[in-house]
Structure 1
Amino acid sequence: DDDHADHDHEDDEDHMDDDDHMDDDHALTVTDGSGREITLDSPAERVLCVQDNCTDLTSDLGIVPVAMHRGDGWGSFAAYYGEGAAAIPVLGDRMSVEEVAQYEPDLIIGRVGEEEVRDALEIVAPVYLVDIGGVETLKEGWIDVGLLTGREDEAAAAVARFEANVGGLAALLPDGAVDTRVAVGFGDTNWMIWDSSSFCRFLHAEGAGTCVFPDQGVSEWGSPDSEFSWEFILEVDPEVWVMITWPGSARKDTVTAEVWLQTTAHREGRVCEEDSAGSFGHGLLMLQWAYQCYLNAGWPDLYDYPGDLSVWLPAGR
């Protein structure tokens, strides 16, 4: 009897080992943009967004978040979800662990640079941080979240759409476009010239232009910024200006500085008002939209401007 009991116990242990192995086989594991490994036992069904890049991603993959980070218009979820955005809860400005927990998410999406938010919220659910530093890291974020949500096909299709759209736009670029001097600026009373790292690198890699900005240190946000200088603008004379705008900000027809009026960009009307308050490099959809805006400002006879983000959304959104 003891031998029989031992045999049954061994069978039970073997069976438990098999179950553990099966669980491992079905686990979903990725490494996020911050280098941290994220593992889910099953695809996430309740996704919560704590940064603007997340709504760009979720809409591209056909996911409706259980809650989102804010409700105003610039670069925010209303552009992605249209009338349906009103039905999606908005997190408060002073987001708390308790507030997030009430939505019972099984995956939270933020962005690299928000590690403190991740550290606070990971007691609620795993937190995936997207690296918004460049096109390739954005693609990796799309593919990873596709895996974690059981939407691998949708993620692959989104990346393929991006590549096809951008390739189609690049095919029309005139010779020498890469040498076009581009300024990315924003302001209300305090103007700045911004390197907008991911967008500027993207433009240059596509052969579409070269951003100009003064020598400067690294800002608290991790990318070079500087106080705006009209002297610098006069020196470099931007040929195309990407003006990041938001409600209440300066716009091309409200700037009265003489130097602005003298720039090639202003004289030739090659100005793109990019109404996202700087979130235009935070996702593949917003990047395509900003790129189209820039191209239309630079070469309006070659590129139509779609007028809104919806042109880039997957069919049926």
Structure 2
Amino acid sequence: MKRKHGGLMMLLILALLATACGGNNDGKEGAAAPSGEPAQSSQHNDAESNQGEEAPAEAWTIEVTDDTETKLTFDGPVEKVACIVSLCIDVLAELGMEPAAIAESGVRVIASSPEFYGSKGESFPSIGGSFFEPGLEDLVTAAPELVIGLKGVHDTLREGLDGIAPLYLANPKSYKDSLEFLEKIGELTGRTDEAAAAKARFMEKLETAKEKSPMDKKALIIFGSDVNFSVITATGLGGTVMKEFSNYPWQVEKAEDDPYGEGSVPYSLERLLVEDPDVIFVESYSYSPGTLPVSEQLAASPLWSKLKAVQNGQVHEVRSPIWGDGRGTRSLGILMDEALAILYPDLF
């Protein structure tokens, strides 16, 4: 009995010691200490034990998805961008950046326009080859961190650019897509403030146009290189802007007429006479020297002269590299400025 009583005393002493050492935290990590102050977490204790040691900088990484659903990952803000499409020039100008190299033809034209880089745009390093097949050697020389191209045109370049630079393919179908692209590239380049400012400028201009415009002029944008022209509909990029401040009734009536969802359809003068627009904006593209503007080629048809816009002198050749190829917020802003000045000269 004595031995048994001694064992019980020993167990009691051990239990008391365990209670004193363990404290009362109900099994919950980080519970309040008896003084009422928050208990220090193990992370806090580790930080104190490592006081004086500089913590490693957190890696800067970002992942974006382009218009082909391809994911691109970057380990830091992108600084060197090569442009093989005019949209790239547009977004870099909005962000206050300069391209590392640019393709020729229409891309060089828009870069040299006064609203973009002016004469400085003539001196950016050149990417040779054609619009459809830019020179890979020139891209290697430029050593960009990113190449921006056009979805549906430059898709096959991704493999060739492997090991040179990631390829971001875009093709905005509406001005909202253009705004989203601006924000994505702003994030990639670490220029979110500049992107936000450019977006605000565009939206302010659009809201002003919507508020002041009487919407009583029927407008139309057509494009082509000869008499076989196409119409930009209300779901086409320029049309999504134009319909905000004008009567813009043009629609894709048959899906087969617009198989790629670009919002443009082939048209005829006979169909054009049915709606008979008040103002026609023409984007002419020339693929050989001496090609006449589309409006002058169409003038050879007797139907052309029957259009109200023709009779009233309201057919206007526009800068197709900006109106048709720019695709970004700055180009669309220029489209707005120029269209409003023609549609409603007393108001804008």
TM-score past 0.5 threshold: yes
Distance change (3 Å), C-alpha of 1:292 and 1:203: same
Q: Which moved more, 1:249-258 or 1:116-125?
A: 249-258
In structure 2, what is the equivalent of residue 208 of structure 1? Answer: 246
Larger Rg belongs to: 2
Instruction: Tell me the TM-score normalised to structure 2 length.
Output: 0.72
Does structure 1 conserve the Cα–Cα contact (< 8 Å) formed by 2:221 and 2:231? yes
Among 127, 136, 157, the residue aligned to 2:167:
127
- Say whether residues 1:158 and 2:202 are aligned partners: no
% identity of equivalent residues: 25
Query: TM-score normalised to the size of structure 1?
Result: 0.78
1:223 aligns with 2:257: no
Q: Secondary structure at the match of 1:132?
A: coil
Paired residues for 1:76-91 under 5 Å: 76-79=110-113, 80-91=116-127
Tell me what 1:22 maps to: 58
The aligned counterpart of 1:69 is 103
**2:142 aligned counterpart, secondary structure:** coil
* CA distance in structure 1 between the partners assigned to 2:189 and 2:225 by the alignment: 40
- Number of the residue aligned with 2:218: 181
Task: Identify the match of residue 139 of structure 2 among 89, 93, 100.
Answer: 100
Deviation of 1:262 (Å): 2.0
Indicate conservation of the 8 Å contact 1:272/1:294, yes or no.
no
Residues 1:224 and 1:285: Cα distance change in structure 2 (over 3 Å): closer
User: Retained in 1: the 8 A contact 2:218–2:279?
Assistant: yes
Paired with 1:58 and 1:117, the residues of 2 have a C-alpha distance of: 21
- Aligned counterpart in structure 1 of residue 231 of structure 2, from 188, 194, 200: 194
SS of match in other structure, 1:22? coil
**Residue 339 of structure 2 corresponds to which residue in structure 1?**
294
> Aligned pair in 2 of structure 1 residues 84, 192: CA closer, same or farther (>3 Å)?
same
* CA-to-aligned-CA distance 1:92-113 (integer Å, 9 cap, x gap): 2242333311110011112332
Is residue 315 of structure 2 the alignment partner of residue 279 of structure 1? no
Aligned residue type for 1:95: P
1:234 aligned partner:
273
- 3-state DSSP of counterpart to 2:103: coil
Q: 2:68 aligns with which of 34, 39, 57?
A: 34
Which SS does the other structure have where 1:232 is aligned? helix
Pairwise CA RMSD: 2.8
List runs of 5+ in structure 2 lacking aligned partners.
1-54
> How far apart are the structure 2 equivalents of 1:74 and 1:44?
22
Asked if structure 2 preserves the Cα contact closer than 8 Å seen for 1:184 and 1:242, the reply is yes
Aligned residues: 281
Q: Partner amino acid for 1:212?
A: W
Q: Supply the AA of the counterpart residue of 1:275.
A: R
Query: In 2, are the aligned partners of 1:271 and 1:298 still within 8 Å (CA)?
Result: no
